[in-house]
Amino acid sequence: MPHALLVSGSLGQGHDVMAQACADTLRERGWTTHTVDAMALLGQRSGAAGEAVFRRLLDLPGVYDAFHFSALRPGARIALLADAAARSRLVPALRELVEAQRPRLVVSVFATATSAVNRLLRQAPEREFRHFVFCTDVTPHRLWVQEETDLFLVTSEVAACAVRRYRPEADVVVVPAPLRRPFYRPPTRSAARSALGVPEDARCVLLMSGAWGLGPLARTAAELAAAGPHVLAVAGRNRELERRLRATARRRPRLHPFGHTDRIPELMSAADLVVTASGDTCGEARALGRRLLLLDVVQGHGRDNLQHELELGHAEVATARPAEVVRNALAALGRPEPPPSVGATPAAWQEGFGSALRRIGLG
C-alpha cells in the first residue's frame, strides 16, 4: 500500500484537525499514514519556546499584526531568518522519517513544515515523494509557498490568489474545508439539550475561543449567563480558564463549563449562537446552521480569516470586551437562524482531495 507522511504543528488545534482529515481520507483510499508534530520534532525546549513566543506575540496588542503583515506576508528578512532557524532543526528529523518510511506523499499542514520538506526535496538526488501543502487560511503568507511544492490545497478562491501572488504558475486546488466526522451526523438540538441539561425553550450560546481560550472568556461567560441565556463555555487546553469557569458556574447556574472536550458537535447542536474566534470552527457552525458571532482576538491571519467569514454571511463581529460581546450576542440571538450548509457531507471534500491526488499522478 502507498504510504503518506503528514506534518502538522501543535500551535492551537486547527492544524491537527486538518491533518487528521487528510489522513482519514488517504486511509479510505487504501493508503497507510503517519502524522507527526513539527513542534515536537523541534525538540522539547525549542518547541515550547516557539509556542511561548507565538502566544506572547498574540498577547501584545498590534505586535503580531505588525509581524504578520510587514514580515510574514511579504517574506521580509526577519521572517526568513526565523524560518531558517526552525527549519535547520526540523530538516534532520524529517530526513530520518522519510528515509525510514519511504512515503510516496508528504502533506504539510504547517508553514514551517512546508519550508523544511521543500529543503529536503532540494537536497535529495532524486525526487522520491510528492509534496502537498494544505492551508485553510484565506491568505497564506510567504512561508507557506515554496518552489518545490507539487500542489497547494486551499479552501477558497481568495486563498488560491494569495498562493499565486508568490508562484503565479502554482498548481492549486480549491477544496471544501473538511469537517470532523461527528459534524456530518450531529445530534438533534433536542437530544443535545437533554444530554446537557439545557431547557428546550431556553436561549443557548456556545462560547469558545480556540484551544488556547483566547480573550477574557471567564468574565464574558459570567456576564452573558447573567443576561439570561444558558452559556456553554469551553476553555480548551487553558487550565486556568477552566478553573475560573467552574468557580463562576457555582454562582451562575446557567453557565455550563467545559475544558478540553470532544463534545463540540453536541455543544454546537444545543446552541442557538456560536461565539468564537475565526478559524475552522466557523465551517462546523455553518454546517449545523448556526449563526456566528466572531471575536476579534486573533491578530494577523486571524483578521483576514475573520473578514472572509463575515463576507460568507450569517456572521457578526465583536471586540473581546465582555460587555460588548454580551450586547452583540443578545442582538444576534434575535435574528433568523441560517440554514445548514448545502452539501455538508464528506463527499465533496473526498472528491476534492481525490482530484488533487490525480493531478500529481497518485490517484
181-333: which CATH topology?
Answer: Rossmann fold (3.40.50)
Task: Quickly list H helices, the chain.
Answer: 14-28, 38-41, 44-59, 63-67, 77-101, 111-123, 157-166, 189-196, 217-226, 239-249, 264-270, 281-287, 301-312, 322-333, 346-359
State how far the Cα of 251 lies from the Cα of 122, in Å rounded to an integer.
60
- Nearest CA to 207 out of 250, 242, 251 is that of 242
DSSP-derived 3-state class of residue 271: coil
Q: How far is CA 13 from CA 88, 99, 236, 337, in A?
A: 24, 28, 9, 27
The Cα 79–Cα 83 span in angstroms is 6
pTM of the model: 0.90
State the cell numbers at 24.
Answer: 482519514
Residue range(s) occupied by CATH 3.40.50.2000 in the chain: 3-178+345-359, 181-333
Q: Write a three-state SS string for 37-95.
A: EHHHHCCHHHHHHHHHHHHHHHHCCCHHHHHHHHHHCCCCHHHHHHHHHHHHHHHHHHH
Amino acid at the residue 63: V
pLDDT reported for residue 269: 96
**CA–CA gap between residue 216 and residue 325 (Å, rounded):** 10
Look at the block and give the residue holding cell 508534530. Answer: 37
Tens of pLDDT along 230-280? 999 999 989 999 999 999 999 999 999 999 999 999 999 999 999 999 988
| pLDDT (tens place) for every residue of the chain, 363 residues total | 899 999 999 876 788 999 999 999 999 999 999 999 998 898 766 556 666 777 777 777 788 899 999 999 999 999 999 899 989 999 999 999 999 999 999 999 999 999 999 999 988 767 789 999 999 999 999 999 999 999 999 999 999 999 999 999 999 999 998 988 889 889 999 999 999 999 999 999 999 998 888 889 999 999 999 999 999 999 998 999 999 999 999 999 999 999 999 999 999 999 999 999 998 899 999 999 999 999 999 999 999 999 999 999 999 999 989 999 999 999 999 998 888 764 467 888 999 999 999 999 997
Q: What is the mean pLDDT of the chain?
A: 91
CATH number belonging to the domain at 3-178+345-359, selected among 3.20.20.140, 3.40.50.2000, 3.40.720.10, 3.90.226.10: 3.40.50.2000
Which amino acid belongs to residue 120?
L
Give pLDDT, residue 126: 72
pLDDT at res. 61: 77
DSSP 8-state assignment for residue 359? H
